[in-house]
Structure 1
């Protein structure tokens, strides 16, 4: 289990905090980031002062600084402790109040906003494959840095292009090449032609600042263990129907995770639902779901799941 999540209802300039981490090659990076990234964000945002200033450029620069500092500290910590030195983690962070949602995003988790039942995907996954604009930009950046991609993986190894940690693609690139030769993955002749010009993986976040209009109902943040098996519209429809039945976001998280498992997800799944408290769920009509969704409910499988609950009371600061 290498996923984790953090929820904070502290008054950070009138905002609450939530984050999902998806670790790989061990849990050490997640273990470090779940506390340190929050601290770095709060410090860079001057305790929340920048959030209340409503300066989008200042907020963006602060969150970029926070992610950069957290990554540097993580790499130093991994080197000093020797704990799972190849580990890394994605991170998607949210600050929200009743009017504004601010996201700082690295990796392949995703945030979806439900607006009167319409699914608005707010983030783009950082992956070194695909034909969408973001993926093509990531592929170009990696190649310009001296890296290569094999079967959708950087140097044939990792399938995300932005993450914290992962020293072998940052400060230990030459060591990674030497290890690859020793293991027979690379030839000495091939390695002699490799010239790295920059880090292959980066922890530079995409920043999104979204005004929450009157039709905004809830925010859904989850790791790729959900999104690789459930699309955004199906997820929003499912959650709305769940909340219509019982109004309980924890039960909705559990049911949505189970749906991904029923669709044969074998990845870790972390889900946070932030109910904005604006919707009378009992008054909503039941939405129809497609046949494939219903059929998938009959299929059982097993995986590890971490579930987050972020009640609307946390947003009423």
Structure 2
């Protein structure tokens, strides 16, 4: 398992944080109340704006069937995994969990993963001390558990993409298998936190072809699926086999982990129906404007979905927004560039103006 740090762009400050053990602050619940701070006062000069940042978590979500006749998207938001499942949290801090699951071939796989993945995570013996290992194992274990249930009334060919985000203090861990996408707003700049696992992806194509698979029309794995990583899909012959875990279609997620700073404003997690009509930066810009207007995460998600439909989205639509501040994002300050002219240029312009005054037709 490898934690991917190269996906998207990150600031210099974030890159530095990725290589150090920074102090992790406590996160709050999703009831929109400010976090309780220590009663001890700290002098302003002693506060590090990066390592002493404490995210105040609030979230919103919205789904719509869109133009489809059936709904296969689903999602989940859990403020404290350990508390929800009665598990002792050795770190003593709330671990928040968000997930978006985009089903295909029916809703069975998406609903199964939504209902079981969080529990599999907290039941892992290394939870919560080694979250990266835990999340990868949990994706794979949940996939195998679903395989055991693939008999009527469940659909053997049902599958789902799965994207999850976990927040522990200032640590944000995103895990993705499929083509849902997570995008972080860092002072208004869109930072891609996941990579779409589509047949058109060069790395995925290379992996598949090395195993004897093939891509049709740069869009379909073995001519059957439009994604190269997913949970479920056990009914597709030649793509997955319980006895051969490293097949063409895999459930192993790719991870990206960063330490949040005060520059990180919110995270958007959406099914591919959103990203069919929004670029990463366009979605961040739209969401920022709406938050600045009303500062309500749920309303913002609803507006994103409605805007996607206006833009002609043809798929189910699901978006989850996780904000890291109570206040709305600040307005961007545009620094105007001062225009200067050289001494030589000034004299040249002056001579031309004098000539124009002396002979109005000389420059025509």
SS of corresponding position for 1:42: helix
Please state whether the residue corresponding to 2:305 is helix, strand or coil: helix
Bigger RCO of structures 1 and 2 (CA < 8 A, at least 6 apart) = 2
- TM-score by length of structure 1 reads 0.74
- Larger radius of gyration, structure 1 or 2? 2
Unpaired runs of at least 5, structure 1: 51-57, 130-134, 177-195, 288-317
The alignment status of 1:30 with 2:110, answered yes or no, reads yes
State how far apart, in whole Å, the 1-side matches of 2:256 and 2:305 are. Answer: 26
Paired residue secondary structure (2:320)? strand
Find the aligned partners of 2:301 and 2:166 in 1 and give their Cα distance: 20
Give the unaligned 5+ runs of structure 2: 1-70, 83-92, 335-364
- Shift, 1:157, TM fit: 1.3
Residue by residue over 1:77-116, the C-alpha shift from the partner in whole angstroms, topping out at 9 and shown as x without a partner, is 114x451111100000111144111111100011111111
In the TM superposition, residue 34 of structure 1 has moved relative to its aligned partner by: 0.9
Q: Which secondary structure does the structure 1 equivalent of 2:235 belong to?
A: helix
- Superposed CA deviations along residues 39-93 of structure 1, whole A, max 9, x for unmatched, are 1122226453x1xxxxxxx3222211111110111111114x4511111000001
Of 299, 302, 319, which aligns to 1:251? 299
SS at match of 1:78: coil
> Is the CA contact 1:89–1:165 (under 8 Å) kept in the aligned structure 2?
yes
The equivalent of 2:209 in structure 1 is 143
CA contact (8 A) 1:104 1:208 kept: yes
- 1:116 and 1:140 map into 2 onto residues whose CA distance is 35
The Cα offsets for residues 186-231 of structure 1, whole Å up to 9 and x where unpaired, read as xxxxxxxxxx995220001101111101111111111110011101
CA root-mean-square deviation: 2.3
- 2:190·2:281 contact (CA, 8 Å) conserved in 1? yes
Q: Is 2:264 the counterpart of 1:216?
A: yes
Q: 1:66 aligns with which of 138, 154, 162?
A: 138
Give the corresponding residue for 2:274.
Answer: 226
**Are 1:87 and 2:158 an aligned pair?**
yes
Distance 1:78 1:229 in 2: 34
CA distance in 2, matches of 1:279, 1:116: 13
User: TM-score when scaled to structure 2?
Assistant: 0.65
Higher helix share: 1
